Amino acid sequence: MELICGKDISSEIRNQLKENLAQEGLKPCLAVINVGDDKENLLYIGLKENAVDTLGGETRIASLPQNAAKEEVLNLINELNHDQAVNGILLQLPLPKELQPYEQEFLSAIDPAKDVDGFHPVNMGRLVNGTPGFISCAALACMDISKRYKAPLAGKKVLLIGDSFDLIRPLALMFIKESCQVSVAPQYKSALMEGVDIAVIEAGGPHIVKASGIKEGALLIDAGFYYDQNSLFGNVDKEDLSKIDGHLLPVPGGVGPMLITKLLENLCMAAGMSLPDKNTG
Ligand SMILES: Nc1nc(=O)c2c([nH]1)NC[C@@H]1CN(c3ccc(C(=O)N[C@@H](CCC(=O)O)C(=O)O)cc3)C=[N+]21
């Protein structure tokens, strides 16, 4: 199984974005709303901030305390919606437990034209009717890699493992639009891999995906993130898969960096830059 370096592909795309921004004299501004002090959230926000910085853009971290009230979050979203200097807004998830019941209300309050996560119901709905606006960065990352390694996609057999609203559901719609044969399952079973050309595995556990049942030449995209002490594991057992032919986008160094790169592309589009092959649904 050949490992795909998400970092290398990401740097290629980021360099191109940086060049285009400079040519168009654009300096995009991303506002990140962070509620509470979840350690992983702070790590991911740091990665996003550095990435925006490398493009020459600006990041505003709008932090609210763990016990922030629902109205405080809604007021902050409203303020950023109306701030002309802000091109993109994202609400870092997960929220503190007490606020989780309002997650969809918060996401719906973000201006769809600034929704660089692609989580707004209008942007999600536009995926269904084939007139995509912003699309979820994780889904864009997986589709980008699939097109690079498995084009033409029409007729390919695709297996998606999981049910998340930010990856599996939008990605299923995107593969349907590419005329793929798409199956979705909540949990991984090697028997499901029969004849599969592209598999995106989000639900599961560290190293549960082994070589058995995988078609020679398949593309596997690992989208599971499990921290154990300081190491990060994915669903796929890279060791075991080294015995067979094919491609693996691994964790770490795969979906993560590509996801952030797609966030940068969405942010550049929100700032008015036209992308050569605009993120299509
Ligand atoms: N509103 C919102 N949008 C998100 O897109 C969002 C979110 N909330 N909450 C959390 C998840 C998770 N996520 C990741 C981002 C980067 C890496 C990434 O780059 N990981 C590195 C390792 C990072 C490290 O541990 O050093 C890698 O896989 O190579 C992973 C996961 C975005 N998320």
Please choose from 5, 43, 45, 47 the residue to mutate so as to test ligand 1's pocket, defined by most ligand atoms within 8 A of CB.
47
Provide the pLDDT for residue 279. 53
Give the model confidence (pLDDT) of 181-192 as tens digits.
Answer: 999 999 999 999
Q: Confirm if 230 and 198 have CB atoms less than 8 A apart.
A: no
Does residue 143 contact residue 149 with C-beta atoms inside 8 Å? no
pLDDT at 274: 80
Which pLDDT tens digit goes with each residue over 142-155?
999 999 999 999 99
Whether 264 is in a domain gets the answer: no
* pLDDT value for 276: 63
The number of residues making up the chain comes to 281
Does a structural domain hold residue 14? no
Q: What is the ipTM of this complex?
A: 0.98
Same-domain check for residues 247 and 168: yes
- 3-state DSSP assignment of residue 129: coil
CATH number of the CATH domain containing 71:
3.40.50.10860
Minimum-distance ligand 1 atom for the alpha carbon of 90: 1
In a domain? residue 64: yes
Strand runs (DSSP E) across 162-211, as ranges? 181-185, 198-201
Per-residue pLDDT of the chain (281 residues; tens, 9 = 90+): 999 999 999 999 999 999 999 999 999 999 999 999 999 999 999 999 999 999 999 999 999 999 999 999 999 999 999 999 999 999 999 999 999 999 999 999 999 999 999 999 999 999 999 999 999 999 999 999 999 999 999 999 999 999 999 999 999 999 999 999 999 999 999 999 999 999 999 999 999 999 999 999 999 999 999 988 889 999 999 999 999 999 999 999 999 999 999 999 999 999 999 876 555 55
249 and 151 co-located in one domain: yes
On whether residue 16 sits in a domain, the answer given is no
Whether the bond between 152 and the residue before it is cis, its omega within 30 degrees of 0, is: yes
Residues 61 and 150 in one domain: no
Model pLDDT, residue 42: 97
| Within-domain flag for 275 | no
Q: Does 223 sit in the ligand 1 pocket, CB within 6 Å?
A: no
Q: Is there an atom of ligand 1 within 6 Å of 117 CB?
A: yes
Residue after which a domain boundary falls, among 111, 126, 150: 111
Question: Do residue 157 and residue 80 come from a single domain?
Answer: no
The domain in which residue 66 lies consists of 24-111
What is the pLDDT, as a whole number, of residue 72? 98
Answer yes or no: is the C-beta of 29 below 6 A from any ligand 1 atom: no
Residue of 255, 11, 2, 266 lying closest to 144 (CA atoms): 255
Say whether both 175 and 71 belong to one domain: no
How many domains is the chain built from?
2
Instruction: Tell me, using a 6 A CB cutoff, whether residue 96 lines ligand 1.
Output: no
Output the pLDDT for position 275. 75
Structural domain contains residue 177:
yes
Q: What atom in ligand 1 is closest to the CA of residue 257?
A: 19
